[in-house]
Every structure is written in C-alpha cells, then in structure tokens.
Structure 1
C-alpha cells in the first residue's frame, strides 16, 4: 500500500500501459482518475478497480485541449478532494518517413504527446502552487512518458521522436520550476507491447521456460507507482528507461569536450577542431532502425 490515500490522475488509461498504471496504483491504495477519450475502456478500468475494492472515476477529456485538461484536474479535486500524482501517458502514432510526413500527421502527434503533457501539468501545478502559498505544502508527483525514440531517435517516427524528446526536456525544466511548490517531476521511457507497438514487439512474448512476458505493459507500472509515492521525494528531473525486469537511469545531455581559442575562430580553422572534438567524444547511441 505504498500510495495509500493518494489521489492519482492517469491519462490514456483505458488501455495498454496507462491501464496497467491505473490498476497498479489502485492495488497499492490510491484513488484513481482514469482518463481516456473513449468512455468504454475507461469505464471498464473503473469497474475493474471497484470490483477489487478500490476507488476510481472515469474522465473522457481531451488532454491536449486547454479547458479539457483543466477539467481533468478538477475531476480529481471534485471526486476525491485532493490531487497528489499526475501520470501523463496518453499518446498515439502516425508513423511515416520524414520525407513523406504530412503537416497534419506532424501536428496531431506533437499536439497529443507534447501539448497533452504540458496542459494537464500546467493546471495541476497551478493547483499545487495555490496550495503551497496557502501554507498546505504538497508532496506531489508528476510522471511523464518519453520514449527511447525521444532519447535516441527512431527511423520513420520523426514526429513522435520530436514530441518525446520535447517531453524529456519539459520534464527537466518543470522539475527545476516546480520543486519550490513541493512537486517532483520525472519521466519514464518505457518499452512494452501496446496497440502502438504490438507488431514491433510480437516476437517478445512470454518465454515458455519462465512464463515471464518481458513486453507486458504491467512491467512498467511498478516504477511509476514508486515514483508517485512519498518515498520518491528526493528524486526529480530524471528520465528512467524501463522494460521487462530492467530499470536504468538515462544519461542527460551534458557539456562535452571543449577547445577554446580565446578569440573568434576563422571558418577555415574549424575543420581540425571539430575533428578532434568528435574523436575525443563518446560515440552517440545509434538511432533505432538505422
């Protein structure tokens, strides 16, 4: 019961990883707002939680809509009287090589993933800031969902890669800004079999000798629940990769090797300089699918 008494909003919680998060939080004692634009799967998750003795309500607001995301946060406050954890998970794919990617396909993916993270975060943080200023300092958590594509790139997913990279950067920025209000902000980069990835991960099914399904969405949720708990108060601004039984901490962008002339460079001088910098720096991680 690591999150007993806490109130959690999970976006995109009707299916896949979001559903696994909602069920895991409820099993550990939290009350859950199950957000999904499709009422039927959201209601089914609520019924499953309630049948197990937990508390949950469904919400169908569009998380990338400003008023909708505001109402999502209000749903938690009106239903359970408080908000402790926001898990931004909602998203979808419109995969295509960049040279074939349409404007609509770009806009749709960036909107749902990137704005769909910012808008709920913005309204939740406004509530927590007000609580802090009123002398009721929160012990609140935001867990965002980036991706390996956002950290390393993925061929055929330029829109998704850009949005997920933006989420990783947004996480670091929000952690620096929200800490003063008692809010930590972290992100996960999960790998699991969902409707978005079921073809890519079709071969990674349960191993007969162990029965362990390394690509099951439920493998991701324990870390998210822990990050949503009071125990995680000292951890913020981090991005975790998680899949199967593996958890790792992603290395962030860092300042690299430097050559300083102490004056303005001439273009003709910079070839050897760049060559030395590249030679002395670690090789970048390969882009997925390259």
Structure 2
C-alpha cells in the first residue's frame, strides 16, 4: 500500500471511538499498519459493555480497517499502567516487527466545579490523560533509544493530545485542564530529550464532536450549502497523520490547534513586558511595577465557559 504513512507502524491510544478512531482510520488509509488501543470504558472511565458478538470498540475499528484493505490489530491494555503501556509497544513489535509512531489520545471526563470535585475524580482524570501519555511515551522512547544505540536511528514520531482547556482553562474542568496543560509541558521536555534518538514530539489541541464534547458541539453541524461538518473528528486527523509521518521532519516541540479546516500554531509562553530595577522591591513597589507591566501586556485569552 502507498501513502504518506506507507511502511510505518502506528499505535493510537483510545482509538475505539471519536478522534482516536478517526486517526486510526486515517493512518491506515495512508498505508500505515495500526495498533488500535481501547479499553472500551464509558465516558467517565467506568467499565463499558462490549458489543455483543463483535468484540470491543478496538475490534470494530480493526475490522473497519481490514475491510478497507488495511492492516491493523487490537490492543486492550490499560496504557496508564506500566504493563499496559509496555505491552502496547510489544504488540506493535511482535505483530509487525517495527514501531514508528505513537499517538497518545486516550482519555475521559469527570467534570465538576472545583468545590465539588472529589479527589478520586481528580486522580482518575489526571491518571488517564497525563500518566496515560507518560507511560506509552516512556516505553516507546526506550525502544527508540535502544534502536539508536544499535546503529539504527529511527524516524520516530509522537503526537500528544492536549486541549483548548489545557491552553486557556475551562470552567468545571479543573482536573482535565490541569492534565491537558501538563501534556504540553511533557511534550516540550520529550522533544528536547528525545531528538538525539531520531524522535520528534508534538501536540495537537483539537476541537471536534466526540462523546466527550457532544453536548458542547451539539448544534454545530455542516455549514449550509457546503456539506462540511466543521466539528467532525476526521477534520483533525490529516494534521495528526502528517505529524506522525516522515514528512514532518524538523518539526518538534510544537503545539497546534486544529478545528474544521483551521490549523493554528500555538506560540505558548514568551517573555512580555519586563523591567529590572537592579535591587529588591518592597511589596508595594512590586505591586506598582506589576500593574505597570500588566498595562502593557497582551490580555490573556478567556477561560472557556466564562
């Protein structure tokens, strides 16, 4: 099979539905062999029911890919555990003999205002999003480092999934926003540390209609007369496929927003107005200085939900 991802082996976590499913199908359409990871849990991470007679969500996506002439295999391990993350990489290597691209996408929501947010709901969301990015990345990186030391420097790619909530915050999603902001920090560190092993690491902050966002985007459908559904998950996947391919050489440590037909490079934290008096401020002087600097600074974007 030919295509942008021909001969590459790609693992996509949380690929049974929504964005992950769209990514897996898009990679397969471009020639990749895909490891489709999904636990089949509910929207809040509680155990879900398997589709009668047809396996879980991962199996259904694998069947779609195979029916279209592609190659795929299912993985049902919990990637927020050491064994589950390690077995994801092993599955790729044992099945296809190589591993080229990791797309970290798995996640769920437990939305509450901060004063009502239980510790268990905080831990569960941070675990699946942030730890669920770290552990597959760690085990993938260990494989690519070993390949480099053996004289086989890979052309490896990692695409992490953040969110507008991680960039700006989102009311009622303190746990999710914190985890998604952490993913951006992890992306920057991984890009710096893993470049020597031939690994490029980037992140996307997608906006699309999925189980997690269907209420927020319920009224956003195809633009009149165009047939183009701006909130379809499939709109985000082309950028993810490109970032996960050899064609994205030289692009690392970057964060992109993707929604409909729009792609934006996010520029992150940069020094703004500053002053240095050369000696210590008193608290009152520090306050006066801070207010003067803020008067010259670019206002922050609005938190979602305000």
TMscore range, shorter length: over 0.9
Partner of 2:90: 74
Partner of 2:48: none
| Alpha-carbon separation, structure 2, partners of 1:237 and 1:156 | 29
| Alpha-carbon separation, structure 1, partners of 2:29 and 2:11 | 15
Partner of 1:30: 32
TM superposition shift of 1:268? 2.2
Q: How many residues align?
A: 290
Map of 1:85-124 to 2, 5 A cutoff? 85-124=101-140
Tell me the SS of whatever aligns to 2:256. Answer: strand
TM-score, with structure 1 as normaliser: 0.99
Partner of 1:213: 229
TM superposition shift of 1:209? 1.1
Is residue 15 from structure 1 mapped to residue 17 from structure 2 by the alignment?
A: yes
TM-score, with structure 2 as normaliser: 0.94
The C-alpha deviation readout for 1:12-31, integer Å capped at 9, x for no partner, is 00000000000000000000
| Alpha-carbon separation, structure 1, partners of 2:125 and 2:280 | 41
Tell me the SS of whatever aligns to 1:202. Answer: coil
Structure 2: unaligned runs, 5 residues or longer:
41-54
TM superposition shift of 1:254? 1.2
Runs of 4+ in 1 over 3 A off after TM superposition: none
Map of 1:1-290 to 2, 5 A cutoff? 1-38=3-40, 40-290=56-306
| Alpha-carbon separation, structure 2, partners of 1:157 and 1:271 | 31
Partner of 2:52: none
| Alpha-carbon separation, structure 1, partners of 2:284 and 2:117 | 37
Tell me the SS of whatever aligns to 1:12. Answer: coil
| Alpha-carbon separation, structure 1, partners of 2:97 and 2:268 | 36
| Alpha-carbon separation, structure 2, partners of 1:202 and 1:15 | 17
Tell me the SS of whatever aligns to 2:56. Answer: helix
The C-alpha deviation readout for 1:77-104, integer Å capped at 9, x for no partner, is 0000000000000000000101110000
| Alpha-carbon separation, structure 1, partners of 2:287 and 2:21 | 52
CA RMSD of aligned residues (A): 0.7
